[in-house]
Amino acid sequence: MKKSLSVVLSTAVALSMFSSMAFAKTSADFSDLKELDAATQAKFDAMISAGIFDGVSDTTFGLKDEMNRAQFAKVAALIMGLDVNKDLTASSFNDVSVDDPANGYALPYIEALKEAGVTDGYAEGQYNPAGKVTKEQLATFLVRVLGKDADAKAMTGEDATVSDWAQGYVALALELKLLANGEDGTFGGQANATRDLLLTGAYEAKQQYVPAGKVSVTEAKATGVQQVTVSFNKPVDTEKATLSLKKGTADVATTVKFADDKKSAVLSLTDVKVGEGDYTVTLSGLDADAVEKTTATFIGEKEAVKSIEFASAGDTVAYSKQATVRVKPLNQYGEVASFSAGDYSVYTTDGSATLSKDSVDGTLIVKMNTMDITGVVQGASMIPVTVYHNDTRISAQKTFKLGNTSFISKIELGDAKYSNGSALSDKGDYLEVPVRELDQYGNVVTADQLEADGINDNLNAVITPYESNIAVTYDKDSEGTNRIVKMTLSDKLDKNGEYTATIYGGASSETMKFNVKAAAVVTKVEFGSFTGTLAAGDGLDGTDAQYIPVIGYDASGNKLSTTDLVNDTNIERIKISASGNVHAVDAAGNASAQLIKTGEHAGSIKLTVDKTAANGTAYISANISEMNANDYKYMNLPIGKARVADTMTVATDSKKKGIGTSDTDLVVKVKDQYGADLKNIVGDTTENGKAVSYDVYMTVTSVSTDAANTGTGFTVVGKDDNAAFTTAPIIGDNVKQNFTITPDKFDIFNDGFTINTNNTIGKAEVKFELRKTVGDGTPSVIRTITKTFEGLNAAKADLTYSVSQPGEAYAFLDNAENFGALGTALTANYGGSKVAKEITVSAKDSAGDEVAIPNQVQRATTGDPNVAKAVIGDGVHGDAGKAYVMGNEAGTTDVTVLYETLKGELKSVNTSVTVKNEMPAVASITANGDKTIADGSDISIDSIMDLAVKDQFGDEFKDGNQVTYNAILGLTYAVEDVVGEGNITIDQDNGTISIDSTVKGFTLKVVAPNGKTASTAVTVAVLN
């Protein structure tokens, strides 16, 4: 009896059958292959799909079944690509018979092996088809396949479980990782080989096999409607090799992707489909003496529908205005046919059912209204659906049970499509990811169905690592089938990166990865224009620091954006220096050699000036000292005297007249000698050796009162932080009230005042005197501003009225359920809502002067309440006398406003409002550039940032309203660039921040879902 299997392989034998045979099954079809790891599963799929292996039954692979010689003969013949005559019925071996029920199938394969000289049998005249193959025999076969018989004979081994003759073969098989030792560290060479070892060993040998001889194109064939697969007899040099495709004599544009083993390539047609005609694939680019056959031809055929099948996971369809089932028409390549939805027809109980294409995989989506079918009962009725191809009449029919309304239970992601190449790089680059949403029955929930049924999919994408310059928006595809998640690069980034998008929808989530390429790096700098003045004491005692802008350029001379200039790479490359009693500081006021990173002064040098630096010179420099870039810039600036009060100006002028309970704003600002707003006077100011002080003396006078007056008197109320400067009601003739505003209060004085009429008829005067006092002398007035305000008699005033226009509004009421408690609250009472459009009445007198009047709207109605609704404020929900129009559904409707004149006349005016079903998005965010605060807990973020947020409809959210409406705005707060030790905690829900006493400063940032941001540089200090 022979001790080894006789295997003789010529160098011409190839393993190319792995990549060229047709297949139908995969590992997923076999129950005992379900637990394979991904790498092993891929090997099994390659062998099964190549037709070299099959299961021992339709559902079982026989993973650990012992392999017999008949099975081995079939695998060996197929791997080697031998010519197998399957019509043979007689064997040269007397123990091989076609009538053998167990092994007769192997007769033609056994004869092929003998004809090729691979085997001469087991014994004289016998093959022993039922005999087992040992592991060491398998190792020998695999080594000889690779042409390494001599190498194996030169090796030795000491494994006691391996026969002496096989020691070298086993040792080399282990070294080449064709096979592996068992858990006990031995090979077990005389044990019988199992089917899993044969498959994995043969797969590994195939990866390493390189036949001798020249490269030849062995086959080309259409494997898809826009795909041609080309096979080679051996690996090709993919750095040199090129492939081209012609139809007849005409070039066909393709993209080429070589397989990892370099033995095949796929040509993807970019512009056309494979059609009827003769095609030729040509291999070029390789050295002529290394190539034997450079072309292969095939006959193309036009795409045809071969079958239609339902792709829906179950047999239930939702109760919906836009219920769906998926249908998969297949072409001759087993692909989803590329024909348009118009090439098919659908018949179902809903006579208005339609077909559309799924943008994820091209399957057909049947859309039907199962809610309005007469007599249907959820859970009982049956809905038959028939789809057929119009040209071939190939059809499919299935009957579905009518279920309940849909909810999102799962999402699936389609292939990402980049706007530019395969990565985000430049500002404005984007990628779009189709999101297929599935209901509880496994049917697609289309974007149109979401709207029709009012389903909230809660679609949300979270990018990690977080990057503020990647904005996420949400839309739907052109067919109204799938949602689209769009990720847009709002600015260049400084380094390459791979990002993960976790996309949430309903109760499911999926992840995908995408790439961002590096942006420009700064190599040269220059100073921008500085139009201000350096003065002694700048940046101290609550006064403004000064900022010198810096401009950066990359190696190509391109000017960098501010974002690029202050990215993590560039901020470290640019070193800042300041001297001459001037200091470069960070956002928190601590010494720094870097540019300011965030806020309105990003990309600038922040400077503070010593109080004693007047009449000196500031020396500022910016330097880059890197291996491939060296640049140095400097500038000298004179330092002026400390800032003092020089004049006052009117920033916001009040209306000259008012009636009833009206009010008007007046903002007056103190200016220094350099023309800037003066917040405080730093240090001691002297003149001729005497101390000099400044203040603003404010006088409010009731000049006269009409005899018919019934009001309570004029009041002047300080705005915002200026509220301490508020008068009591003043009425009568020449009644006065005075305030003295000292320099430490100039900053809050500059916030301004509100003048209230309070039904007073008469005149009031507000006078501001900027005064200077030298030593113990009498104050001298530097500048006087006087404003006179008249309270008119409503019965006598001759006024012309106008009504404000509502413009465009969001369809909030129709979408209210998407916003939780906020939606519920505003649906019940939307008066005063920030997403409602406010309508007010204004007036002018006969002289053309605008007159402050109280709110006078009495009633407002809309022509179509389905589009918009209107309500009058009641003092709790909105200001009394104002109208509020709230969008309901998309459309345009008239708005009729009834208002009362101050003489008691009722007048009406018609206007209109346009409502859009367009989710509010942040159009702009503004915030304080910097703020000094004390540490503490639960500090309002708005009190620090003074945020003002506007959406695309012009709605403004400020004074803390951005917290109330954050269910709509989706703002997120973050802390960066912390100086000092300790913790900073943000309560996102309540919009507050808690700061440890050991923190010295930080940057507070707010980010909108679309990438809009604003920042405030915060200094933490002990405040008096």
pLDDT in tens, 153-200: 999 999 999 999 999 999 999 999 999 999 899 999 999 999 889 888
Q: What is the mean pLDDT of residues 362-369?
A: 94
743: three-class secondary structure by DSSP: helix
- Asked whether the predicted pLDDT for residue 7 surpasses 50, the reply is no
Which has the minimum average pLDDT: 237-251, 487-501, 858-872, 1004-1018?
487-501
pLDDT, averaged across the chain: 88
CB-based contact 252:212 (threshold 8 Å)? no
At residue 6, the pLDDT reads 41
pLDDT at 495 (0 to 100): 61
Let me know: does 813 contact 890? Beta carbons within 8 Å.
Answer: no
Q: What is the C-alpha to C-alpha distance for residues 531 and 535, in angstroms, rounded to an integer?
A: 13
In DSSP terms, which residues pair with 368 in a beta bridge? 323
Alpha-carbon distance of 196 to 976, in angstroms, equals 55
Quick check: 371 pLDDT over 80? yes
Ranking 311-320, 494-503, 718-727, 760-769 by mean pLDDT, the lowest is 718-727
The Cα–Cα gap between 586 and 578 comes to 13
Helix (H, G, I), strand (E, B) or coil at 927: coil
- Please name the residue that has the structure tokens 């000099």: 692
Rounded to whole angstroms, the Cα distance separating 514 from 450 reads 28
pLDDT at 4 (0 to 100): 39
pLDDT at 320: 94
Ramachandran area for residue 431 (φ above 0: left; ψ -120 to 50: alpha; else beta): beta
Report the pLDDT value the prediction gives residue 492, as an integer from 0 to 100. 61
Instruction: Provide the pLDDT for residue 890.
Output: 92
Give strand pairing partners of 695: 771
pLDDT at 493: 62
**Statement: residue 375 has pLDDT above 60:** yes
> How much is the average pLDDT of 597-614?
89
Most confident of 37-41, 115-119, 449-453: 449-453
| Confidence tier at 1006 by pLDDT (50, 70, 90) | very high
Region of 62 on the Ramachandran plot (φ > 0 left; ψ -120 to 50 alpha; else beta): left
Minimum mean pLDDT range among 69-78, 294-303, 492-501, 818-827: 492-501
- Give the mean model confidence (pLDDT) for residues 343-368: 91
Q: What is the pLDDT of residue 941?
A: 93
As a whole number, mean pLDDT of residues 378-392 equals 94
- Could you give the residue ranges of the DSSP H alpha helices within 782-844? 812-815, 820-828
Between CA 568 and CA 598 the distance in angstroms is 12
| DSSP three-state, residue 502 | strand
Contact partners, residue 679, CB within 8 Å, separation at least 6: 542, 543, 544, 746, 747, 750
Type of residue found at 796: K
Task: Identify the residue whose tokens are 């049970």.
Answer: 401
Mapped onto helix, strand or coil, the DSSP state of residue 411 is: strand
- The DSSP annotation for 548-581 comes to EEEEEE-TTSPBPPHHHHTSHHHHHHEEEEEESS
Contact 613, 581 (CB under 8 A): yes
Position 1014 pLDDT exceeds 80: yes
Q: Cα separation of 691 and 680, whole Å?
A: 16
- DSSP H/E element including 789: strand 780-791
- Residues in the chain, overall count: 1024
Confidence check: pLDDT of 368 > 60 = yes
873 close to 852: Cβ distance less than 8 angstroms = no
Q: Average the pLDDT over 22-51 and give the result.
A: 81
Q: What gap in Å lies between CA 115 and CA 117, rounded to an integer?
A: 5
Strand order in the sheet with 857-862: 807-810, 906-916, 891-900, 857-862
What percent of the chain clears pLDDT 90, i.e. is strictly above it? 58
pLDDT (mean) for 348-372 = 91
Quote the pLDDT of residue 491.
67
Put the strands of the sheet holding 227-232 in their side by side order.
254-258, 264-269, 227-232, 215-224, 291-293
Is the pLDDT score of 724 beyond 80? no
Section 894-921 average pLDDT = 90
- For residue 785, list its beta bridge partners: 768
Whether the per-residue pLDDT at 8 is higher than 50: the answer is: no
**Per-residue pLDDT band at 118 (split at 50, 70, 90):** low
Q: For residue 104, what pLDDT band results from cuts at 50, 70 and 90? A: very high
Q: With contact defined as beta carbons under 8 Å apart, do 753 and 787 qualify?
A: no
Looking at residue 46, its pLDDT comes to: 84
Predicted pLDDT of residue 16: 34
**Higher-confidence position of 670 and 83:** 670
Cα 393 to the center of its chain, rounded Å: 44
pLDDT higher than 50, residue 5:
no
Helix residue spans in 146-219 (DSSP H)? 149-153, 167-175, 195-208
pLDDT at 1023 over 70: no
Token pair belonging to 347: 């018949």
Cα distances from 678 to residues 639, 671, 674, 769, 770, in angstroms, run 17, 5, 10, 15, 12
Residue-level pLDDT at 855: 81
Judged by DSSP in three states, 11 sits in coil
Mean local confidence (pLDDT), 527-548? 91
**Residue 265 vs residue 35, higher pLDDT:** 265
Q: Please give the average per-residue pLDDT across 546-552, as a whole number.
A: 94
* CA–CA distance, 814 with 867 (Å, rounded to integer): 9
Q: Which stretch of 53-67, 613-627, 877-891 has the lowest confidence by average pLDDT?
A: 53-67
pLDDT at 518: 65
pLDDT of residue 15: 36
pLDDT at 643 over 60: yes
**Overall average pLDDT of the 1007-1016 stretch:** 90
Amino acid at 744: D
pLDDT beyond 90 at 117: no
516 vs 511 pLDDT, higher one = 511
Maximum distance among all alpha carbons in the chain?
138
Give the pLDDT score at 2.
40
CB-CB contact of 319 with 380 (8 Å): no
Cβ contact 935:914 at 8 Å: no
Please choose, from the candidates 544, 604, 542, the residue with its C-alpha nearest in 3D space to the C-alpha of residue 932. 542
Nearest to 394 by CA among 466, 304, 476: 304
Name the percent of the chain lying above pLDDT 70.
Answer: 95
Q: What whole-number distance in Å separates Cα of residue 916 and Cα of residue 868?
A: 10
Whole-angstrom Cα distance, residue 422 to residue 143? 41
Confidence of residue 684 (pLDDT cuts 50, 70, 90): confident
- CA dist 644 and 774 (Å) reads 13
Q: What's the gap between Cα 596 and its chain centre?
A: 27
